[in-house]
Amino acid sequence: MASLRETLERLSSFRPEGYLVTSLYLHLRPQERQDAKYLTIYKDMVKEKKEELSKRNLPKEVLESLDRDFELIREFLSEPKNLEGCRGIAVFSCSAQKLFEVVKLPYVYRSRLMTAPDPLIREIAAIDEEFGRIGVLLVDRKHIRYFLMDIESTVESVDFLEPLATRAHRFHSGGSALKGAEGTFQLKMPARAAAPNMVQHSYGEWRFNMRIKEEWHRVLKLAADAAFEDWKANKFDKLVVGGFIEEGLREIEHHLHAYLRERLVGYIEINPSEAKPHEVREKVLNLLWEKDREQEKELIQELGELVGKGLAVNGTSQVLEMLAIGNVRTLLVPEDFEKPGYLCPKTHLVFLKPECPLEGEEPLEVEDIVDEVIEEALEQRATVEVVIDPEAQKKIDGLAAFLRFKL
């Protein structure tokens, strides 16, 4: 199977020679997978796209190639096995030139179907940069496992049982998977110094509980050392810690290096001894989804503050004006927002009225300008934030944007 880099290199160098390339980005979250709703969503997008294409004066062979693209993609989506292991998918097709490429993704910005002279791969590059590399550390009292996640895969790199609490090497702790240390924890009831007829249950129980706590913190220290060693080697962008949260898992923060604490995203509830890579990935994606919803509230608050300072705009027409002069830093898009308008094919700019900045450039009517707005924002290396929360969406008047500079 080709790597993401190889796939993107093929797509970026592809030239359709007069034909158009169909680019599909499709949500495959649990709500879209239920009763195969994604197929209905795709069919509706195809219907709208065909109506839009019928208004253009395209050669017959180009339209036939696009029709074949739509059918090939539908056939691919109809096979559930093709959609395993992802929450979003990108498909690129140009039947006339024998192109058909698929990229599985942890998410997409929104479901959209587009036709253009080139494969529209900017969203994949943006998601790859946003997602980055994620270290996932799973810990319980006698088991430490470590996974490294990226946009393509989840790979386990450390897995060992019964680590040795020692300070004999560079980790200042131990474990057979870490620099060769071997052994097991020795948890013993300490001997009593009092006379045989003296019963010291309270003192003995306290020492026993303290020893258990001490051994737990040695495990956490060992796990934190393992994560830090991997960060030095691989420089992951985010850290997620998993295990039985009620057992004091959050105490690992006392042992994490400062570089790791600032990358800590949160915790997942999972059994470290039995977790499979795909289960780890699902748990982490759920956590990231929750964090994104929390971030939406911060974005809306920031929007209100920056509008008052002239560093943000809230309204579709204003966003389009800022996009036309390259002044959009972050684009805020309500998930279900749609708006008809016009696309200028040479400058790739979008307007609500049939007008283009270049003399002689004829605007094309499009059913939904949002897809084109997202593409243009990515072309200008702006970030895209899709707002899901209904209450947060109410604060946005169509589209909104944070600006690069004040006007």
Range of the domain at 323: 293-407
**Helix residue spans in 14-95 (DSSP H):** 30-33, 37-53, 60-77
Query: pLDDT tens for residues 320-344?
Result: 999 999 999 999 999 989 999 999 9
Give yes or no: residues 336 and 355 share one domain: yes
Last residue of a domain, one of 246, 275, 304: 275
Is residue 83 within 8 A of residue 89, CB to CB? The reply is: yes
Going from the C-alpha of 95 to that of each of 61, 62, 73, 139, the distances in angstroms are 11, 10, 11, 49
> Is 0.85 surpassed by the pTM of this model?
no
Overall domain count for the chain: 3
The reply to whether 280 falls in a domain is no
The reply to whether 286 falls in a domain is no
The string of DSSP letters for 322-359 reads: HHHTT-EEEEEEETT----EEE-TTT--EESSS--SST
Here the CATH number for the domain that contains residue 227 is 3.30.420.60
The DSSP 8-state label assigned to residue 34 in this structure reads: G
The reply to whether 281 falls in a domain is no
Please give the backbone phi and psi of residue 383, each rounded to the nearest 5 degrees, phi first.
-85, 155
Is residue 138 within 8 A of residue 145, CB to CB? The reply is: yes
User: Scanning the structure block, which residue is given the tokens 């934190």?
Assistant: 224
- pLDDT for residue 59: 94
User: Scanning the structure block, which residue is given the tokens 């949160």?
Assistant: 266
- C-alpha Rg value of the chain to the nearest Å: 27
Is residue 104 within 8 A of residue 85, CB to CB? The reply is: yes
Give yes or no: residues 302 and 391 share one domain: yes
Give exposure, 97-115, as e/b (b: 16+ Cβ within 10 Å). eebebbbbbbbbbbbbbbb
**Token pair recorded at residue 37:** 């709703």
- pLDDT for residue 161: 55
- pLDDT for residue 187: 36
Query: pLDDT tens for residues 218-254?
Result: 888 988 988 888 888 888 999 999 999 887 889 999 9
Last residue of a domain, one of 108, 131, 154: 131
Is residue 341 within 8 A of residue 324, CB to CB? The reply is: no
Query: pLDDT tens for residues 10-41?
Result: 999 999 889 999 999 999 999 999 999 999 99
Range ranked top by mean pLDDT from 174-183, 308-317, 361-370: 308-317
Last residue of a domain, one of 106, 131, 156: 131
**Token pair recorded at residue 144:** 């430490």
Here the CATH number for the domain that contains residue 351 is 3.30.1330.30
What is the overall mean pLDDT for the chain?
86
Give yes or no: residues 119 and 174 share one domain: no
| pLDDT greater than 50 at residue 170 | no
Give yes or no: residues 41 and 76 share one domain: yes
